[in-house]
A and B are shown apart, each in its own frame.
Chain A
Amino acid sequence: MKKSPVFSELESLLSRRILVLDGAMGTMIQQYSLTEKDFRPDFLKDHSIPLKGNNELLSISRMDVIEAIHLEFIHAGADIIETNTFSANSISQNDYDLSSFTYIDQMNRTSVVAARNAAEQYYREGGTRRIFIAGALGPTNRTASMSPDVNNPAYRAVTFEGLRKAYYDQAKSLLEAGAEMLLAETTFDTLNLKAATYAFSELFEERGEEVPVMLSVTITDASGRTLSGQTLKAFWYSMAHSKPFSVGLNCALGAKDMLPYTEELSRIAPHYTSLYPNAGLPNEFGGYDEQPEHFAAVMKSYAEKGFLNIAGGCCGTTPDFIRALSEQIHGIAPRQKPVISSALRLSGLEPLEAEEGSNFLMIGERTNVAGSPKFKKLIVEGKYEEALPIARQQIESGANIIDVNFDEALLDSVGAMRHFLNLMASEPDIARIPVMIDSSRFDVIEAGLQCLQGKGIVNSISLKEGEEKFLDQAQKIFRYGAAVVVMAFDENGQAATREEKERISVRAYNLLRSIGFPAEDIIFDPNILTVATGMEEHNNYAVDFIEAVREIKTLCPGTRISGGVSNISFSFRGNNPVREAMHSAFLYHARRAGLDMGIVNAGMLAVYDDIDTELRDAVEDVLLNRRSDATERLIELSAKYKGTKKEEEKTSAAWRDGSYSERLKHALIHGLDEFISMDVEESYADLGSALRVIEGPLMDGMKIVGEYFGAGKMFLPQVVKTARVMKKAVAVLEPYIQSARNAGTTYAQKTIIMATVKGDVHDIGKNIVSVVLASNNYRVVDLGVMVPGEKIMEAAIAEKADAIGLSGLITPSLEEMVHVARMMQEAGFAMPLLIGGATTSAVHTAVKIAPAYRGAVIHVIDASLVAGVLSDAFGSGRENYESELRAEQKRLMDEFYATRSTHKLLSYVESYSRRWMAPEFSAAPSFWGTRPVINLKPDQLLNYIDWSPFFHTWSIRGRYPRLLQDPVVGEEAKKLFEDAKQLLSVISAESLITPAGVYGFFPAASDKDEIVIFHPQDPQKEIERMPMLRQQREKEGEQVYYSLADFLPSVDSGKREPLGMFAVTAGHDSEILSRKFREEGDEYKAILAAAISDRIAEAFAEFLHELARIDCGLQKPNQYTTEELIQEKYTGIRPAPGYPACPDHRLKDTVFRLLAVAENTGIKLTESRAMWPASSVSGFYFLHPQSKYFAVGKIAEDQVQAYAQARGETMEEAEKWLAPYLSYK
């Protein structure tokens, strides 16, 4: 199909500058204060319905007004003007009883004429800019993917077909009248827009010419999504198939609120992008004050960031706004379209991206009348709403995509597909994932596609009925914007052998590619056929499939492969243990060959390594056709496994036979919450008091948990699961407790205030302590992170606290803790103060914090100890405990001062004279300056994860993987690890975490102990100085006293060597994920998610460091294994500000400035220089092969003086930041 010449005209202009779109037609019309008469052309003067407000009619009745408005916008600088046709479609005009084609056609045609007249007037006036006329198409006033009737969520006020026709008619009139491009704007329902692009595609095909199509979506601030619930990325994945000329955002938000969305769209869309916001966001009282200059300044900042190709204004933007915009963006280079890698990108309300080699996608199979008798029964009986939980259950079990099938003779399959998909769309937790529409009937498939706003998959089409039908169906699917499963069938039937599977797949691939079907949207299903049937010709079916998978991946590049996994084991129906083992073993081998996804019962898959070895060997003999008697042997063995599961279930259900006290104990000890509500209610009914339930069976259970925990028979992860159950139990009792309170009965419970101190964002440890406290029946008031002392004081008073717990990870937090202790002293408190966090210590607590406060100050070294500590602090032996505590702290203080006096420090001058003299070294990075790293998926970092610290978070010590075999903690560590891996796979599959990073290289040298940084393009131009600290504490037999400055050449030598810097984060989504679990009451998963995010950030740092070494030619790709990376076998170091070699956290300021870290990654620094999100790492790369990690240790006053002078600050300021390192205070 030929392209209209407007494409090349626009592209030529867009290569040089940002084009300007006009502003708000509606706002301008209102300025004319028109009356009903103005809205009535002669032929409607007797129309029975008021027409004022039907702006499109003005193109007919007051064309002079519309022309004048267009001309004003052109004079203001608009290059593209939109026709006055936003609602000139049969659906919107129905409100005015003007939906007949005659009216619609006339509105659109005269509107184009009005725009052309204005453009021609401009040319007549001598205007030289090319003015483009875009036919504007609004979203209509109905939505295809939502119900207007809240009592009937499956109802739709408009169908896809109705929308398609309305858009087709409007677009046809616009183009015939001379519109040069189409602009489908203010999209609030993606399914409406899909109908529009479907219509455009048909129209272009009929006309034999394609014109540029601009798409524009509306995101609301209220939900951060489209009005139909999609995230921006999900929206784009739904529409990418239409290959628009441009895609952008308009309406609902003012310019400044568009930043995250315009940035994201600019990054993910390989087309031109547009942005035309409202003139600001109204406040809740409807007021709005934004001025054109402010609007234009914000738009200019986006242009400078490289986000824009086309810019304009929406509601409220008058010609003054467009003029200011045009002036501000003049001369700024347009955005460069990014190249986006090929991947299968699907969406529900949220996106799902599957790049080659990414995690296996599970397709839930239970919402299938052919596969689930339960589902079929509900659907046949018309109980659609009752069938929804089956979909939900699949998703909760890990399904990434949900297969929906209504191929059943007794059903109206078309109606059932529509009804169920519409119902699913109203459930946010189901609608978030993509749908696979599964049917052997194409009319059912089309009905399904017309209900999906997301990008789904069609399952399936084939060459069974020849090429013509195959291509016709494929063309339609492409137009609807879905991916497709192609079954290995042709006119001769089903492919069984490897050769047949390959031949048919290649034939289908070539046909699909010939009509432009994207390779990444083709999914082959080469037929998983049943093995172990007793027929010899079936014995090699699994091998044939696996080998075909490998071959098809090579022959049909870019495609994906799927299959119905349960087919493989039909011979063993009724024996689930054997079937599960077969599925698991088959997937293990097929995945290694390249199988990307499979239809499985997501809740029933054995772990390959957990399959009994004897069974696994027998199953693999069958699957891999390793011996002729494999089937007989498996049949023989299967009798042994038949019913195993049921027996296990029976045994595992035996605990339900006990009394409610026994059941509650069991549930608490084993972390089982399934029956907790029922059991708690039963105990309440029996005991008649919430207090008795808590103090009786619940506390009995918790005491056992406490004993087991203390004796090392239970571990922290289990305690956290226990806490989850306890929390649910208490929630059940909450109404009863409340009524008891109202009746005057009080329930004595100690209240603990928990907070991460001001300036610090790290909260995993604090959260674990909170959970342990809650599980020990303390009432925890968690104030969160970055909590100022004043707020802690207020909360302590308001909540009548019995103790306060302070947490912090970074060294400045230590000073803040002292500050809070002083505030507590001044407030006259005497309650215990708990101190915890990675940098805290018993010594610091004794020396610095305890003397500042009269109450007991207790350093809690480990979360597992907190309950015992508080039990002592509140118990009857409280006085003895406090006295022992104070005695111990006095001993630590005395020891500290005594030891300190024995540690000799060299003078700063002497330590500098004994600096390390670096042998000459040279490295040349492949680039200078900064480089952001985006679009990195968590699973690309898996191999870089050092798991040991993950276990340390949970108080499980030792090195991974050895600790998994530990006789004491091994079993629990394995469970924890499994949970972590499972969550990690969900995080990867659903992109729940979006890591971001930036790194760079700068020419650098050292001037004494200062690192001097030079401009990346001009190694003589100094841009920054960083004073570093040097070791001073005397070391016996050691001649060298290190500073990081030693690892760079002296500035006097004239040499410059690269100093690397980096900052990475697991992203803000990691915080959101953790918070989501916490809000759902699942503290275990919340902590798990936070601990995994920390690992991902660290892994990212490791990954990036490797990349940096490769960039500098110091390492080859894949030179080191994960273990070798963890052991730092490579050369060079990456010290982080705040850590021993460079303890001043303020060095992060330099990293953040030079790498524009905030802009590139979203990481922010608190006033204490903690990074937010907490799962972030930043630091330096020193490349010298002999550079090494060291601890600066204690420093003397002479060095602090020099340091303060070099930084241009007072001694007091320097001492504040270096407090833990001072030898003299």
Chain B
Amino acid sequence: MSHEHNVTSSHQITPDFGLHPRLYSWLVQYLKLKEPVIIEAREMGCADDSCPIVETIFSIVQGGDKQYFKVARAIKNISKNDIYFSVQKQVG
């Protein structure tokens, strides 16, 4: 059986993003984003029902460039630490 991840939700994140009011500002701060920027988030959970791992994948569109950035947590639970350390690992 393949081990697929299920897309569980998808959102566009704005400064007044309802689910998570601070996420936009943390992403802008730690990824050093300059506005205007479009950030979309997609949550994916492991296809194994008993697996607790959920990932959120952000696609960031800025000035015609698109980049992806991952955090290993559901959107509503993402903390400042998650953004900080994920930036360190993925953006360097």
Shortest distance from the beta carbon of B83 to any chain A beta carbon, whole Å: 9
Q: How many inter-chain contacts with C-beta < 8 Å in the A-B complex? A: 137
Given contacts A24-B48, A251-B53, A426-B81, contact A282 B89 (CB under 8 A): no
B3, B79, B80 interface centre (most CB from chain A within 10 Å): B3
Q: Is the CB of A431 within 8 A of B81?
A: yes
Chain B residue numbers with a CB within 8 Å of A315 are 3, 46-48, 51, 53
Given contacts A87-B50, A252-B53, contact A286 B6 (CB under 8 A): yes
Q: Is the CB of A29 within 8 A of B49?
A: yes
Q: Is B41 an interface residue (CB 8 A)?
A: no
Please give the number of chain B residues whose Cβ is less than 8 angstroms from any Cβ of chain A in the complex. Answer: 41
Other-chain residue from B20, B22, B76, B82 in contact with A223 (beta carbon distance below 8 A): B82
Q: Is the CB of B1 within 8 A of A318?
A: yes
What residue of chain B has the Cβ atom nearest to residue A218's Cβ?
B53
Given contacts A220-B72, A252-B72, A284-B57, contact A148 B77 (CB under 8 A): yes
Q: Is B11 an interface residue (CB 8 A)?
A: no
Shortest distance from the beta carbon of A257 to any chain B beta carbon, whole Å: 12
Given contacts A148-B76, A280-B3, A426-B81, contact A221 B50 (CB under 8 A): no
Q: Is A61 an interface residue (CB 8 A)?
A: no
Give the distance in Å from the alpha carbon of A318 to the alpha carbon of B76 in the complex.
32
Chain A residue numbers with a CB within 8 Å of B80 are 153, 426-428
Shortest distance from the beta carbon of A55 to any chain B beta carbon, whole Å: 5
- For this complex, 23 residue pairs linking A to B, each with C-beta atoms less than 8 Å apart, are A30-B47, A53-B49, A221-B89, A222-B71, A222-B82, A222-B90, A223-B86, A224-B88, A225-B89, A227-B72, A229-B81, A252-B53, A278-B46, A282-B3, A282-B44, A286-B4, A288-B3, A288-B5, A315-B48, A316-B3, A428-B80, A428-B81, A1075-B92
Give the distance in Å from the alpha carbon of A278 to the alpha carbon of B51 in the complex.
10
Q: Is the CB of B76 within 8 A of A282?
A: no
Q: Is the CB of A225 within 8 A of B5?
A: no
Q: Is A193 an interface residue (CB 8 A)?
A: no
Q: Is A147 an interface residue (CB 8 A)?
A: yes
Chain B residue numbers with a CB within 8 Å of A151 are 21-22
Q: Is the CB of B49 within 8 A of A150?
A: no
Shortest distance from the beta carbon of A228 to any chain B beta carbon, whole Å: 8
Q: Is the CB of A316 within 8 A of B48?
A: yes
Q: Is the CB of B6 within 8 A of A150?
A: no
Q: Is A276 an interface residue (CB 8 A)?
A: no
Q: Is A8 an interface residue (CB 8 A)?
A: no
Which residues in window 561-605 of A have CB below 8 A to B?
none
Chain B residue numbers with a CB within 8 Å of A922 are none
B68, B70, B79 interface centre (most CB from chain A within 10 Å): B79
Chain B residue numbers with a CB within 8 Å of A278 are 3, 46
Q: Is A139 an interface residue (CB 8 A)?
A: yes
Which residues in window 1-32 of B have CB below 8 A to A?
1-7, 20-23
What residue of chain A has the Cβ atom nearest to residue B84's Cβ?
A428
Chain B residue numbers with a CB within 8 Å of A290 are 3
Q: Is the CB of A288 within 8 A of B4?
A: yes
Chain B residue numbers with a CB within 8 Å of A228 are 81
Shortest distance from the beta carbon of A813 to any chain B beta carbon, whole Å: 24
Give the distance in Å from the alpha carbon of A280 to the alpha carbon of B46 in the complex.
12
Give the distance in Å from the alpha carbon of A340 to the alpha carbon of B43 in the complex.
41
Q: Is the CB of A188 within 8 A of B1?
A: no
A24, A53, A139, A222 interface centre (most CB from chain B within 10 Å): A222
Give the distance in Å from the alpha carbon of A139 to the alpha carbon of B53 in the complex.
11
Chain B residue numbers with a CB within 8 Å of A287 are 4
Which residues in window 723-777 of A have CB below 8 A to B?
none
Chain A residue numbers with a CB within 8 Å of B52 are 138-139, 141, 186, 188
Give the distance in Å from the alpha carbon of A428 to the alpha carbon of B80 in the complex.
8
Given contacts A147-B79, A315-B3, contact A26 B23 (CB under 8 A): no
What residue of chain A has the Cβ atom nearest to residue B51's Cβ?
A315
The 4 A-B residue pairs with the shortest CB-CB distance, nearest first, are A316-B3, A26-B50, A220-B72, A286-B5
Q: Is A25 an interface residue (CB 8 A)?
A: yes
Q: Is the CB of B90 within 8 A of A286?
A: no
Chain B residue numbers with a CB within 8 Å of A227 are 72-73, 82
Give the distance in Å from the alpha carbon of A1089 to the alpha carbon of B89 in the complex.
20
Q: Is the CB of B50 within 8 A of A225?
A: no
Q: Is the CB of A31 within 8 A of B21?
A: no
Given contacts A25-B50, A26-B48, contact A223 B79 (CB under 8 A): no
Which residues in window 295-325 of A have CB below 8 A to B?
314-316, 318
Q: Is A644 an interface residue (CB 8 A)?
A: no
Other-chain residue from A55, A220, A224, A1079 in contact with B50 (beta carbon distance below 8 A): A55
What residue of chain B has the Cβ atom nearest to residue A282's Cβ?
B5
Please give the number of chain A residues whose Cβ is less than 8 angstroms from any Cβ of chain B in the complex. Answer: 57
Q: Is the CB of B49 within 8 A of A282?
A: no
Given contacts A87-B50, A138-B52, contact A223 B72 (CB under 8 A): yes
With A153-B79, A282-B3 already in contact, 14 other A-B pairs whose C-beta atoms are closer than 8 Å = A24-B48, A53-B49, A55-B50, A139-B52, A188-B52, A221-B72, A222-B71, A223-B82, A227-B72, A252-B72, A315-B48, A428-B80, A428-B81, A1075-B92
Q: Is A131 an interface residue (CB 8 A)?
A: no
Q: Is the CB of A224 within 8 A of B79?
A: no
Which residues in window 4-33 of A have CB below 8 A to B?
24-27, 29-31
Q: Is the CB of A146 within 8 A of B77?
A: yes
A147, A251, A315, A1079 interface centre (most CB from chain B within 10 Å): A315
Give the distance in Å from the alpha carbon of A71 to the alpha carbon of B7 in the complex.
32
Q: Is the CB of B51 within 8 A of A222?
A: no
For A156-191 the 0/1 string (1 means CB < 8 A from B) is 000000000000000000000000000000101000
Give the distance in Å from the alpha carbon of A708 to the alpha carbon of B47 in the complex.
66
For B28-63 the 0/1 string (1 means CB < 8 A from A) is 000000000000000010111111110101000000
Q: Is the CB of B86 within 8 A of A222?
A: yes
Given contacts A251-B51, A251-B53, A318-B1, contact A225 B85 (CB under 8 A): yes
Chain A residue numbers with a CB within 8 Å of B90 are 222
Q: Is the CB of B1 within 8 A of A224?
A: no
A146, A280, A1076 interface centre (most CB from chain B within 10 Å): A146
Q: Is the CB of A222 within 8 A of B2?
A: no
Give the distance in Å from the alpha carbon of A220 to the alpha carbon of B46 in the complex.
13
B49, B53, B68, B88 interface centre (most CB from chain A within 10 Å): B53
Q: Is A112 an interface residue (CB 8 A)?
A: no
Chain B residue numbers with a CB within 8 Å of A289 are 2
Give the distance in Å from the alpha carbon of A279 to the alpha carbon of B4 in the complex.
10
Give the distance in Å from the alpha carbon of A280 to the alpha carbon of B6 in the complex.
15
Q: Is the CB of A55 within 8 A of B5?
A: no
Q: Is A86 an interface residue (CB 8 A)?
A: yes
Given contacts A25-B50, A426-B79, contact A150 B21 (CB under 8 A): yes
What residue of chain B has the Cβ atom nearest to residue A92's Cβ?
B52
Chain B residue numbers with a CB within 8 Å of A148 are 76-77
Given contacts A151-B21, A286-B4, contact A223 B88 (CB under 8 A): yes
Q: Is the CB of B7 within 8 A of A286?
A: yes
Shortest distance from the beta carbon of A95 to any chain B beta carbon, whole Å: 12
Shortest distance from the beta carbon of A25 to any chain B beta carbon, whole Å: 7
Shortest distance from the beta carbon of B82 to any chain A beta carbon, whole Å: 7
Shortest distance from the beta carbon of B16 to any chain A beta carbon, whole Å: 14
Q: Is the CB of B44 within 8 A of A224?
A: no
For A465-494 the 0/1 string (1 means CB < 8 A from B) is 000000000000000000000000000000
What residue of chain B has the Cβ atom nearest to residue A147's Cβ?
B79
Chain A residue numbers with a CB within 8 Å of B46 are 278, 282, 315
Shortest distance from the beta carbon of A150 to any chain B beta carbon, whole Å: 5
Q: Is the CB of A286 within 8 A of B48?
A: no
B5, B50, B85 interface centre (most CB from chain A within 10 Å): B50
Give the distance in Å from the alpha carbon of A29 to the alpha carbon of B49 in the complex.
9
For A102-141 the 0/1 string (1 means CB < 8 A from B) is 0000000000000000000000000000000000001101
Q: Is the CB of A222 within 8 A of B89?
A: yes
What residue of chain B has the Cβ atom nearest to residue A140's Cβ?
B52
What residue of chain B has the Cβ atom nearest to residue A141's Cβ?
B52
What residue of chain B has the Cβ atom nearest to residue A427's Cβ?
B80
B5, B48, B49, B88 interface centre (most CB from chain A within 10 Å): B48
B4, B46, B84 interface centre (most CB from chain A within 10 Å): B46
Chain B residue numbers with a CB within 8 Å of A224 are 85, 88-89
